[in-house]
Amino acid sequence: MLEIKDEARGLISHGVSACHGCGLEIVIRKVMDALDDDVIILIPPGCAALFSGYCKETNVKVPGYQGNLENTAASASGIRAALKAKGNDHTTVLCFCGDGATVDIGLQSLSGAFERNDKILYVCYDNEAYMNTGIQGSSSTPLFAATTTTPGGKKVRRKDLTQIAIAHNIPYVATASAHNIADLQKKVKKAREADGPALLHIYAPCPTGWRSNPAKTIEISRLAEQTGCWINFEYEDGKVTINSKVKELKPVEEYTKLQGRFKALTPEQKVALQEEVTSNYNATMKKLQFMSE
Amino acid sequence: MQNQQEKPTKKLQKCSVLGPVAAIFASANTGSWRLERPEVDFDQCIKCGTCARYCPPDIITIDKTKKECVSFDWNYCKGCGICANECPKKCIKMVPEGSEA
Ligand SMILES: Cc1ncc(C[n+]2csc(CCOP(=O)(O)OP(=O)(O)O)c2C)c(N)n1
Ligand code: SF4
Ligand code: SF4
Ligand code: SF4
């Protein structure tokens, strides 16, 4: 059983060595607060592994398993099968993975779990790069953002994780962001009850990797939605509900100017980025509206 | 450093753990990182709890019965400034750590 050295009010200890102002730290606490202790958490390598603790010590009160970067969903399927063999159908199997562990390296095992319709709750916190190993670009890194592997800005657009998940015909897929906690927690609760795999894609600003002011983490999260860089919606049993209600999009520059990763944009790139965000926003909204009918 | 691979948890109690596992719930003293600390102007504060909701280490406590309703756990506050940035009344100020209250 767990020996409590330093008590905490939630399921996660208060002193975790995530950077100050870390969006992921807000997200993981809110996700765990929406659940209870009947959870097994799987965390692959990445910044979230800071919460698995170090050596004999852990920062989460629930049982956890740290696998490899490529196989979180497959490990979760195994845990679900083992629970089933023991007659346990109540424990939530939660995967908590970065974007690299999801959209790149772990994508095949995730797709397999979706295909088998294994009941797992898969959360991808998206800080838009491989942060824990020094800010390498991932396929979630947005166009023109600088990372250590894309020092001149990323040349291609990001993947659309939610559409990949929806293509597997799973019961629940949703996006959420760090600033809208009520919406995020409502989705966690729904996702847990889904009759099969559920995917939550959560926007989590990273002041270290994005070279932004740690105090602005929530402000940036809000601006991502207000500028159309991020859209919150949910897909439930084949039907979409759009949660982002933005009357008029703010200029993308209000969002990019707060982040060092977009600092070197040329005037032409600024125009191109605005065009790309607007056209992607319109196309995605059209698709989501079609799927909501 | 203990090598966990060679030391599986020996005492099996309620749960069937076969180890190696981390079984101590602990906290790092992240308060030692702090360069600036939040200071609340309680004359302006409307006790809304926004600061507590967004605090990454979740160390702000709101006690609406008190005038000084917002308190911080200095063992863990990292001094990120999110509380000050999000406060709707802008009544939290970040002051250099070590300065007089
Ligand atoms: C197959 C494999 N390649 C590389 C690594 C090294 N590695 C450990 S953590 C990490 C970054 C993971 O990035 P992401 O999933 O986006 O999470 P973040 O660090 O951003 O939170 C990498 C590349 C690994 N563990 N396994
Ligand atoms: S690098 Fe980014 S995601 Fe990782 S702990 Fe720091 S702020 Fe959080
Ligand atoms: S400065 Fe950051 S860590 Fe400290 S109380 Fe405010 S939000 Fe929490
Ligand atoms: S956010 Fe500001 S007004 Fe609201 S409780 Fe905190 S200090 Fe008071």
ipTM given for this complex = 0.95
Whether the CA torsion B28, A27, A73, A145 is positive or negative: it is negative
Average pLDDT value for chain B: 86
pLDDT digits (tens, 9 = 90+) for A66-123: 899 999 999 999 999 999 999 999 999 999 999 999 999 999 999 999 999 999 999 9
**d(C-alpha A115, C-alpha B4), whole Å:** 35
Average pLDDT value for chain A: 97
Q: For ligand 1, pick from A43, A103, A123, A130 the residue to mutate: most ligand atoms within 8 Å of CB.
A: A130
pLDDT digits (tens, 9 = 90+) for A128-150: 999 999 999 999 999 999 999 99
pLDDT digits (tens, 9 = 90+) for A229-250: 999 999 999 999 999 999 999 9
Closest by CA to A50, choosing from A70, A38, A66, A71, is A66
CB contact under 8 A, B26 and A57: yes
| φ and ψ at residue A227, rounded to 5 degrees | -95, -5
pTM for this one?
0.95
Provide CB contacts within 8 A for A132, sequence distance 6+.
Answer: A45, A46, A47, A49, A98
Compute the nearest-CA separation of A270 from chain B (Å): 27
What is the per-residue pLDDT for B12?
A: 46
Compute the nearest-CA separation of A197 from chain B (Å): 26
**d(C-alpha B62, C-alpha A184), whole Å:** 22
CB contact under 8 A, B58 and A14: yes
Which residues are near ligand 1 (CB < 6 Å)? Answer: A 45-48, 68-70, 98-101, 105, 127, 130-133, 138
**d(C-alpha A12, C-alpha B32), whole Å:** 19
B19: confidence class by pLDDT, cuts 50, 70, 90? low
Give the closest residue (by CA) to ligand 4 atom 7. B45
Domains and CATH numbers, chain A: 6-292 (3.40.50.970)
In a mutational test of the B interface, the residue from A14, A25, A39, A220 whose CB has the highest number of chain B CBs within 10 Å is A14
CATH for B31-93, among 3.40.50.11900, 3.30.70.260, 3.30.70.20, 1.10.10.10?
3.30.70.20
**What are the helix (H) ranges across chain A?**
23-34, 72-85, 99, 107-116, 161-166, 181-193, 207-210, 217-226, 253-256, 267-291
Separation of CA A84 and ligand 2 centre (Å): 35
Residue A254 has pLDDT above 80, yes or no: yes
B90 lines ligand 4 (CB under 6 A): no
The C-alpha torsion from A15 through A48 and A78 to B26, rounded to 10°, is -10
Q: Are A219 and A257 in contact (CB under 8 A)?
A: no
